[in-house]
Amino acid sequence: MSKVTAAMIMGAGLGLRMRPLTDDRPKPLVTVGGKTLIDHSIDRLVAAGVKLVVVNVHYKAEMLQAHLAKRRDVEIVFSDETDKLLDTGGGVVKAMPHFGNTSFFVINSDSIWVEDAPALPAMLAKWDESRMDGLLLLAEMSTAIGYDAQGDFILRPDGHVVRARGNSGAAYAYPGVQIVHPRLFADAPGGAFSTNIMWDRAIAAQRLSGIVLDGTWIHVGTPEAREEAEAALAALTAA
């Protein structure tokens, strides 16, 4: 199993679609099942052996920093984007000095999942940085809750992924969980940019792979989706 002991959680979004729940707090501090979204993510990472978590912050940054200061089970550092949001790719690039030349997880703060088999250890078992620049967790459309798109990626028999749009095959949703090597962001654009730019380059080089979640992904992007997530989480954990 590959050793990945660092992670980044994307916590700097404005949470506009989550209003009014985010009127008084950043989106990562919205609760589902009695736990904040960001604590759901950190708990998974700690269980998978992660020792360092970098969190980028922007909206109500002080509130998020104060909340995370209570944790003692993992080292947490912050990447400050209070002056300017850098989007998904730019945010990772700014935080890159914390990771050196080692691979790390990147997790969106609005995703939770109920797993039949632990997802992050499965990703670690599959991760091969000699052949991959990135490894994406994928969710079957039939088990994705709070997701209303048509699918993001197709998983090829050889384990590589391609975009769902313009290609044939079963489409999967992307739940916002990946392992990346810093090489994925080599020669990245400056300033704010989307990770999609780097993914497309890795897809062209056949260095972006995928693994399917054994469980149910719950996307928590709106107040309505949060209510759906509450009900789904209660039902799934009681089953």
Percent of the chain's residues with pLDDT above 90: 66
pLDDT at 1 over 60: no
Is the pTM higher than 0.85? The answer reads: yes
Compute how many other C-beta atoms are within 10 angstroms of the C-beta atom of residue 99.
18
CA distance 16 to 210: 30
The tens digit of pLDDT for each residue in 90-147 reads: 999 999 999 999 999 999 988 888 888 999 999 999 999 999 999 999 999 988 887 8
Nearest 5°: CA angle at 3, between 205 and 44? 100
- Is residue 111 exposed (0-12), middle (13-18) or buried (19+ Cβ within 10 Å)? buried
Q: Which of 152, 134, 128 is nearest to 202 (CA)?
A: 134
Model confidence pLDDT, tens digit, residues 27-41: 999 888 889 999 999
pLDDT tier for residue 8 given thresholds of 50, 70 and 90: very high
31: Cβ–Cβ under 8 A, 6 or more apart, which residues? 37
Question: Please, which residues have CB within 8 angstroms of residue 104's CB and are 6 or more apart in sequence?
Answer: 4, 6, 7, 8, 179, 180
What residue type is 33 in one-letter code?
G
Q: Find the radius of gyration of the CA atoms of the chain.
A: 17
Domain 6-238 in CATH 3.20.20.60? The answer is no
- List the chain domain ranges: 6-238
Q: Compute CA distances 37 → 3, 29, 140, whole Å.
A: 25, 6, 21
> Measured between alpha carbons, how far is residue 117 from residues 12, 120, 215 in Å?
29, 9, 7
